Structure 1
């Protein structure tokens, strides 16, 4: 996929989460309720997304059946409409004030009817569900509409469509239209269910400002196999994109009398921080929580800039300071802090009040002693997993104590670990003090969630940011002053143009950058902007007015959290009026879903809020990406030195592995090439037939067989079936370089554990595109633009972006492909001898500068036989260095010959 060139491109990514409908039926009904059409039409206009999900079903049975329409949508999205069409009659959803709908809601519950349709919330999404009885041969059309303003998160915008029809669909189609007047500089797609056949159903077109992605698979493309009628379309489809920006980062867009102003400046230096981490170490943090917190802290400390100052406070019943004052983030101090963080215990109660006040006192003392550098940003980051149980335990009293002590000077960010924490308490605590709250979900990637949050606030760019417009030109402007601007975020201000629109709308953005005041100026020609948004294909008209209303409601709801009771009622009245006027299902409104006479008459959709009580028994799952791997015939595969050898077609579990070895050709005139069948099948039939091995005479040996593997792999060579060469790894300390090729822009490192005879992790780093893949037994973590994404092993995934194709299959084989480059693979085996393996394809593409523990063997390799004819000794010459090789017996755990010995030429590195 090509990325248009741009003189002013920044790594912005805007994130939209929208999830395709799931129409589910019970197993008894599945053959009778047929989804014959399922479509999604998502229009993204200037960061505002309008998504319509339409599902059409028919009851092909001879009895009444229940059809259930179920879908997930983004937490920040507002449902704007839902309707059902049954036998030509439309049954709409009516949005009402929540209090007005309560009587109808309560009556429905009393009759035993279903209510509260938008219920469970996960990390990013909420679930909407409605059911209706369908007569034989009758058809029903469900249509759901929702809208969302895309928020910039760590520089990424992402459109996520979740597709789970659970049956073959005659007409299945997704259309995503994106219109960005600033210009689209980057576009990529990813899918957790894509196969080579389905990839043919995906088309993408793009010009400077518009993009269209269509996914329209036929029924045969959806089928898992010709023998099975199950659908393979089950998972996530993701679109990510970026926009062009000027250095000032200003963009004012105007449509139908409303304007929106986006601000994300490019090239500003990061301001130094004075950050204090306040870590809960109470007894409830014992086990995995404290372990993940330690892991996250260690990595976060490594990301501190030498210009930063920091300290650590751990607390249970009392608060303990790591150092008596803030210290510079020097290499020695960071190392000492990492050692301290690695040994934080978990025991005792939870005294949040004293812990946060201790952090404030540290900053106050440094401020009084003039130890806070001019232009630096003071931050307090609190992590806790429970309610206050010691010291001051009244939440309202703690909130007042903290707000009085901070006095508007510092920013407090609160992280609530799990669902036992009082999130409403933490949210108010943060919003009262210029910060924000975030829930950390208990899962295998909790440490990554902590790191991602830190990345959001790690790079402050400006403080005291204010937007200024001519008072005679605009009115009803949304929030126009902000305490902090962080790298990777974006400030958004919207408003109305007054009466007679001006010819030119001008604006100034003021702020402080380090020790100097800074002002950005911009202007936008109204007539030109109005003309820009007249394309009926790519936008829905009047969207900017709805964008303004959406943003205003969101800000009013946030202000209500920390407002006094008197002010809260005023804010509520304003937000409710806008919600009803623009038909948004918000926490202040409900949607009553009507049904045909004789069926349950009142199902009520309500907007859930991030509340501790409603989540206690809800599984907080997270986005899991699946992969499907593609291959090419004639490619070559290098399998990593850990765990069982991947007899990929069946993935059987063999016995334990005693050693790890590196196989090289056992003969001075042999070069072994391994043709690899295409991997369109989830795991190709690799190595099944030794007749596929291509032996040819060369001298000297300029290439290894593309296999690094455990001694359980035996490649019988014609006439040399007992001659094998292995390399024992003796490294036990620190990471080791496995491959490094500067010409290819790639480096592969790994941590080898001699005692366990396995790699505990392997990391692949690409220079272009900037990407890092870290594989451990827990998960695969992909880091791009300081953004971490965790993938579970043995799920399927298909990712296609500029210059990179990443796939994984159900066998756990992850492949990273780039044009005309070596293909890097990672494989995790969870049977006996579990660990991470490294795999390579197309190793003939290594340059002459490849190096590393294994990479050195891809330059000149020579065998020098001993003078004695059969003394069990040889010499292997690699890059001018001689390595003695001796014939040794090794245990073979390959399938079919477990525990038997074989002869192996062994070299020790």
Structure 2
């Protein structure tokens, strides 16, 4: 069951499963270890996820072989159980205090035995690994259990299953059961490995409060999928959902003597904010870091509300403020700020202390001079990539200076860029001042990470939020006071019911809006709630008690970060006791995995902290784990991964040069056999696409020689459109007189708008943006990536990643050829294609254009209105006509054009050509 895979994470997610193997599929089969069953059962009960991963393997070799169970789980999750069943004997994992387990671990290492640790492997994940020797024909069952409270961010909960067994599995099944008493408001799924065959193995059922998602591909479906890809089932499966909400005191849910209170009211107005961005521009930020920071700041400026105030402080050896005071986020000020943000250059040292004190002084001065709007809140957002090197360099003194200066008046959020920064320093700095820390990973989407973080804090709704419960009804309540509530987030309080509590549990939630205090009241009937959580299919008994323990441990660990030394030991003792009582692998405990006699006697799994060393190891490309040093989205085998083109034979296989010709103009398949109108070229979509093979080669040299052997091509049109009502003719639109942003399509009845930036010198689009009103979705594609924005959430994908996303009212798919399709039963299908043949760039594709309404408009949309043909000025010339569209006359000439539809270069076709 060993295969190579890269570890990664995306955004804000709960990882329900990631089963990784260490060898390639062929090697695994030669090794004789075969996975004959892999199942995942995840029950999400009121945001608490309990996941069981079971893998069954058999040694089909004639000799003893080693089987490795390797998987990833979210950093916020706690492992609660692991066991191996070998020859009918169960070998459990025992959770011990970390020091005791570490002693056993050290003794094993001293004896020359390997001892597996849980390693940090990406943005949000940790890796768990256990190996065991398996006798010929023997079977081993691995079972791992972990638990986590789902955190709501930017309006959703996310669950991610990462599946890569790297071989066909006779019994492969994933079941996700979701039960939410508040009601499920929306549910969507996304996959990076789904093919047409595998999509048939996915079923989703949902009612008001429950959902069941099952993925159970047969061997035949897996086999058909593997014929079109390098690997079999291999990638991510994501579930996103949210629950119904009202303007109320939230939802109190009760089970087995414990309660949990969720609070995220809808309909509250946003509080104006005063925000100071403190930006590190030291020499270590030079290059890609500062470029991405500039990009993010420019985008963030567009998201500021006109009611907000803002300023910049940039620092290297010295700190400099952009303006002497905070300024309103007016259109004029924002425009000037864009220019400032675009001009930030990196050089010099790192003086964090002076920059932070300057930011605090700026807010204090504005407050003293009554320049802060009444009822507004103030935030400081620090972005740095390194340790302090200039001025005050003692982290402890800087933390004390900043805490004394802020004095509880403002909230500080710290973003650590990369892995050279001391994350522990930033975390304490933020937690001391009512904020939080976040690591920004060095990757192509770093600018999006910065934007997403800002979106999380961009819309404050309430301040000074407190939860009150009758003292005779509850006890041992988790944190019940919070500094800020942001839009899209959720506050969670849990506790125990008193033995003699009443039949009704009531609660008050007090807080401050912009200009007034507010109180919410809610109540819950104990007997009714207890009855609701008795469904065995969706609920595991006692989950709410474990939810309470989980929250309590997490909050105790967080308090330890900023607590005085005198208090830390008491917090540690309490958190350790709960960790042991509830069998959680936390930073204070480790799990010792025992093995059969005669093998390496133990392995130790411990939970790593968010520190520098673990990430430096994880991102070093260590051969054991096959990690992508960039932490990139999706698995990648680095050796020989570049220089591959679809549609070519593998090395050693015969194939004429024409195969390469076709790869330059491949017929990308969607299975419908329909034509799509394309810009700059139209492809003919076939049910049997010529895609799926890889070929290692020097692309640039081979492409150059191939082009040289071809005749000079006839000019390709910028856009090919089927003429309305004219099935035999095509209209070729050449964009020759326009440059820059264009409104390509706009149909208010469809809730659709397509814009693009056209470069007439290159005769291509540098980017295209598609916006849907229902669901609210924006897809922005460039030559480098696809960015999907929904409800302020950004997701970045690389071209030619497989993608299969089903959301209410829209399906989004992308294949390995780089074709992204956005489709709906009642909407025009929009296709976006990364074209790396001649005239490389982004292409726009259209299908089902008969669904355009009579209100469609735009540069291309106008041609889907009533079109009339008239004689040209030279009436005797049959090759010239006049095209009348919405009162405008366009000269049209019958010309030969290069037809991308036919799937081969040099093919000519006749069309009516119009210049715009």
Provide TM-score, normalisation by structure 1: 0.89
Residue 906 of structure 2 is aligned to residue 908 of structure 1: no
Residue 501 of structure 2 is aligned to residue 480 of structure 1: no
Return the offset for 1:22: 3.2
Aligned pairs (5 A) from 1:91-102:
91-102=91-102
Residue 474 of structure 2 is aligned to residue 418 of structure 1: no
Return the offset for 1:847: 1.2
Which residue of structure 2 lines up, in the alignment, with residue 573 of structure 1?
573
Which residue of structure 1 lines up, in the alignment, with residue 277 of structure 2?
277
After superposition, the C-alpha distances for 1:522-554 in whole angstroms (9 at most, x for unaligned) are 111111111111111111101111000000000
Return the offset for 1:737: 0.5
**Residues 168 and 230, structure 1, Cα contact 8 Å, conserved in 2:** no
Provide TM-score, normalisation by structure 2: 0.88
- Measured in 1, the distance between the counterparts of 2:225 and 2:812 equals 24
Residue 834 of structure 2 is aligned to residue 836 of structure 1: no
- Measured in 1, the distance between the counterparts of 2:298 and 2:716 equals 30
Residue 870 of structure 2 is aligned to residue 864 of structure 1: yes
- Measured in 2, the distance between the counterparts of 1:33 and 1:249 equals 54
Aligned pairs (5 A) from 1:662-741:
662=718, 671-672=726-727, 695=728, 705=730, 725-733=732-740, 735-741=741-747
Structure 2 gap ranges (5+): 1-10, 620-628, 637-666, 693-698
Which residue of structure 1 lines up, in the alignment, with residue 20 of structure 2?
22
- Measured in 1, the distance between the counterparts of 2:823 and 2:612 equals 43
Residue 454 of structure 2 is aligned to residue 454 of structure 1: yes
Which residue of structure 2 lines up, in the alignment, with residue 260 of structure 1?
260
Return the offset for 1:591: 0.4
Which residue of structure 2 lines up, in the alignment, with residue 286 of structure 1?
286
- Measured in 2, the distance between the counterparts of 1:573 and 1:642 equals 67
Moved more, 842-851 or 262-271: 842-851
- Measured in 1, the distance between the counterparts of 2:146 and 2:515 equals 44
- Measured in 1, the distance between the counterparts of 2:443 and 2:262 equals 35
Residue 878 of structure 2 is aligned to residue 878 of structure 1: no
Aligned pairs (5 A) from 1:391-430:
391-430=391-430
Residue 242 of structure 2 is aligned to residue 242 of structure 1: yes
Which residue of structure 2 lines up, in the alignment, with residue 816 of structure 1?
822
- Measured in 2, the distance between the counterparts of 1:177 and 1:630 equals 34
Which residue of structure 1 lines up, in the alignment, with residue 803 of structure 2?
797
**Residues 93 and 594, structure 1, Cα contact 8 Å, conserved in 2:** yes
**Residues 676 and 685, structure 2, Cα contact 8 Å, conserved in 1:** no
Residue 707 of structure 2 is aligned to residue 661 of structure 1: no
After superposition, the C-alpha distances for 1:428-485 in whole angstroms (9 at most, x for unaligned) are 1100000000000111111110000000000000000111111111111111111000
Distance 1:897 1:180, change over 3 A: closer
Distance 1:143 1:127, change over 3 A: same
- Measured in 2, the distance between the counterparts of 1:320 and 1:778 equals 34
Aligned pairs (5 A) from 1:153-172:
153-172=153-172
SS in 2 for 1:279: strand
Which residue of structure 1 lines up, in the alignment, with residue 760 of structure 2?
754
Residue 828 of structure 2 is aligned to residue 787 of structure 1: no
After superposition, the C-alpha distances for 1:549-604 in whole angstroms (9 at most, x for unaligned) are 00000000000111111111111111001000100000000101111111111211
Which residue of structure 2 lines up, in the alignment, with residue 679 of structure 1?
none
Which residue of structure 2 lines up, in the alignment, with residue 199 of structure 1?
199
Residue 677 of structure 2 is aligned to residue 638 of structure 1: yes
Residue 511 of structure 2 is aligned to residue 539 of structure 1: no
**Residues 897 and 911, structure 2, Cα contact 8 Å, conserved in 1:** yes
Which residue of structure 2 lines up, in the alignment, with residue 9 of structure 1?
none
Residue 555 of structure 2 is aligned to residue 555 of structure 1: yes
- Measured in 1, the distance between the counterparts of 2:492 and 2:733 equals 60
Which residue of structure 2 lines up, in the alignment, with residue 146 of structure 1?
146
Aligned pairs (5 A) from 1:508-519:
508-519=508-519
- Measured in 1, the distance between the counterparts of 2:41 and 2:850 equals 45
Return the offset for 1:872: 6.3
- Measured in 1, the distance between the counterparts of 2:860 and 2:229 equals 46
- Measured in 2, the distance between the counterparts of 1:793 and 1:89 equals 48
Return the offset for 1:270: 0.2
Residue 820 of structure 2 is aligned to residue 764 of structure 1: no
Distance 1:209 1:663, change over 3 A: closer
**Residues 427 and 437, structure 2, Cα contact 8 Å, conserved in 1:** yes
Distance 1:282 1:831, change over 3 A: farther
**Residues 40 and 173, structure 1, Cα contact 8 Å, conserved in 2:** yes
- Measured in 2, the distance between the counterparts of 1:659 and 1:428 equals 62
SS in 2 for 1:639: strand
After superposition, the C-alpha distances for 1:96-119 in whole angstroms (9 at most, x for unaligned) are 001111211111222332224211
- Measured in 1, the distance between the counterparts of 2:616 and 2:534 equals 47
SS in 2 for 1:151: coil
Moved more, 80-89 or 642-651: 642-651
Which residue of structure 2 lines up, in the alignment, with residue 851 of structure 1?
857
- Measured in 2, the distance between the counterparts of 1:814 and 1:894 equals 17
- Measured in 1, the distance between the counterparts of 2:438 and 2:388 equals 18
**Residues 642 and 660, structure 1, Cα contact 8 Å, conserved in 2:** yes
Return the offset for 1:57: 0.5
Distance 1:844 1:603, change over 3 A: same
After superposition, the C-alpha distances for 1:801-842 in whole angstroms (9 at most, x for unaligned) are 211111110000000011121100100123453211111111
* RMSD value, Cα: 2.7
Residue 227 of structure 2 is aligned to residue 221 of structure 1: no
Which residue of structure 1 lines up, in the alignment, with residue 7 of structure 2?
none
After superposition, the C-alpha distances for 1:263-317 in whole angstroms (9 at most, x for unaligned) are 0011000000000011111111111111111111111000000000000111111
Distance 1:183 1:15, change over 3 A: farther
- Measured in 1, the distance between the counterparts of 2:742 and 2:227 equals 47
SS in 2 for 1:189: strand
Distance 1:864 1:262, change over 3 A: same
Return the offset for 1:637: 0.6
**Residues 625 and 792, structure 1, Cα contact 8 Å, conserved in 2:** no
- Measured in 2, the distance between the counterparts of 1:777 and 1:605 equals 43
Distance 1:904 1:398, change over 3 A: same
SS in 1 for 2:95: strand
Residue 502 of structure 2 is aligned to residue 502 of structure 1: yes
SS in 1 for 2:68: strand
- Measured in 2, the distance between the counterparts of 1:388 and 1:609 equals 22
Which residue of structure 1 lines up, in the alignment, with residue 624 of structure 2?
none
1:745 to 743, 751, 761: 751
Return the offset for 1:863: 3.3
Distance 1:115 1:269, change over 3 A: same
SS in 2 for 1:661: coil
Which residue of structure 2 lines up, in the alignment, with residue 10 of structure 1?
none
SS in 1 for 2:677: coil
- Measured in 1, the distance between the counterparts of 2:397 and 2:841 equals 51
1:649 to 677, 690, 693: 690
Aligned pairs (5 A) from 1:116-131:
116-131=116-131
**Residues 887 and 903, structure 1, Cα contact 8 Å, conserved in 2:** yes
Distance 1:81 1:191, change over 3 A: same
Which residue of structure 1 lines up, in the alignment, with residue 323 of structure 2?
323
Distance 1:214 1:343, change over 3 A: same
- Measured in 2, the distance between the counterparts of 1:496 and 1:256 equals 9
**Residues 281 and 347, structure 1, Cα contact 8 Å, conserved in 2:** yes
Return the offset for 1:623: 3.8
Return the offset for 1:244: 1.3
SS in 1 for 2:301: helix
- Measured in 1, the distance between the counterparts of 2:714 and 2:140 equals 62
- Measured in 1, the distance between the counterparts of 2:98 and 2:217 equals 41
